[in-house]
Structure 1
């Protein structure tokens, strides 16, 4: 192995250690409760901005593969949200204006709001019915956040992606969705 390869492995090892440290602080019960709420929802909507928004989109896509009716806020085919629906709102800082505003508006419609954030004291967590706290570094590097060698909110976004995958796994188990069934929902218009 050459020196460049060793440096890459050291970097990857450091990133994995950061993610592992963050995820070790998330109670299994929080994942169970979130998955159970989603299992009961007639429709699931997601919102996030920037990279966190990309994690939300990936979550909505996987939920669709698992048979959920899921939508991304802001897409042209997203219908009106209604009482009984669930909104999953993600913001590392817990103060992203459009995400918080959307959560407030959804609450006014009788929608259950599930926050995904690092900040239990942020506007998003205070607005939401429930907040799943991911104690990772954000771009603001607030006091008490996990340290990170990575730029901006990379650690939060990576951790959120894995949290969403864990929730999907619990959702699939509860709904008894097999790999074969999920694959049948996967896009068939690609090579």
Structure 2
């Protein structure tokens, strides 16, 4: 055992990677995304694996700040209506199950937003709004379209190098980005912490 030094150093390296990534994000796309989030509409959130967990956390926070949000695939999620927004978290933008959701949302007249590291992906090409959290990506022939195959075979490659070869950089930056969006939504909608506290789960 070497103590906690290596862990803390890894945290510092990841912090540096996140800082470098933030400087590469296109502000106009962030502004567009935020403007779409504060419109009067339902917001559906989707993603696979760890990206899906980030999406679920984002959907919960949207509810906490007073927006009508749902997670795609939940039993209590209502039918999407034309004009509703769908937010997809996908580092690759190529995962088959999430591509299917994106294509279905577009066919139903939904407004499709993508948070990704790969703006020229299959989902990126059909999305109405793309926020790219840019990071080095593996060669195209290394992408496996099926998330389950990547997990089962141990061949999961995310758009997160050099330190975070299993997806940490995208997912960590996506979590930070989504929390920053929530903070901005609170400012735009004049939602205070007291309003959030009133919406926290009180029957768990």
Render the CA deviation track for 1:91-122: whole Å, top value 9, x for unaligned. 11111111111111111111100011111211
CA positional deviation for 1:47: 0.5
2:200 to 165, 186, 191: 186
Report the 3-state secondary structure (helix = DSSP H, G, I; strand = E; otherwise coil) of the residue aligned with 1:113. strand
CA positional deviation for 1:85: 0.5
CA distance 1:167–1:161, shift in 2 (3 Å): same
Q: Which residue of 1 aligns with 2:124?
A: 125
> Aligned equivalents of 2:119 and 2:88: distance in 1?
14
> Aligned equivalents of 2:172 and 2:130: distance in 1?
18
> Aligned equivalents of 1:97 and 1:48: distance in 2?
11
Q: How does 1:153-168 map to 2 (within 5 A)?
A: 153-168=167-182
Structure 2 residue 101 is matched with structure 1 residue 87: no
CA contact (8 A) 1:137 1:156 kept: no
CA positional deviation for 1:80: 0.6
CA positional deviation for 1:3: 5.5
Q: Which residue of 2 aligns with 1:100?
A: 99
Report the 3-state secondary structure (helix = DSSP H, G, I; strand = E; otherwise coil) of the residue aligned with 2:86. strand
> Aligned equivalents of 1:93 and 1:134: distance in 2?
11
1:171 to 185, 195, 204: 185
Report the 3-state secondary structure (helix = DSSP H, G, I; strand = E; otherwise coil) of the residue aligned with 1:30. helix
CA positional deviation for 1:66: 0.2
Report the 3-state secondary structure (helix = DSSP H, G, I; strand = E; otherwise coil) of the residue aligned with 1:40. coil
Which ranges of structure 1 fall in alignment gaps of 5 or more residues? none
Report the 3-state secondary structure (helix = DSSP H, G, I; strand = E; otherwise coil) of the residue aligned with 1:4. coil
CA positional deviation for 1:9: 1.8
Which ranges of structure 2 fall in alignment gaps of 5 or more residues? 141-158
Report the 3-state secondary structure (helix = DSSP H, G, I; strand = E; otherwise coil) of the residue aligned with 1:45. strand
* TM-score of the aligned structures, taking structure 2 as reference length: 0.85
Runs of 4+ residues deviating >3 angstroms: none
> Aligned equivalents of 2:127 and 2:192: distance in 1?
31
**Superposition CA RMSD, Å:** 1.8
> Aligned equivalents of 1:134 and 1:55: distance in 2?
14
> Aligned equivalents of 1:51 and 1:160: distance in 2?
11
> Aligned equivalents of 2:45 and 2:75: distance in 1?
14
Structure 2 residue 58 is matched with structure 1 residue 59: yes
CA contact (8 A) 1:32 1:167 kept: no
Q: Which residue of 1 aligns with 2:154?
A: none
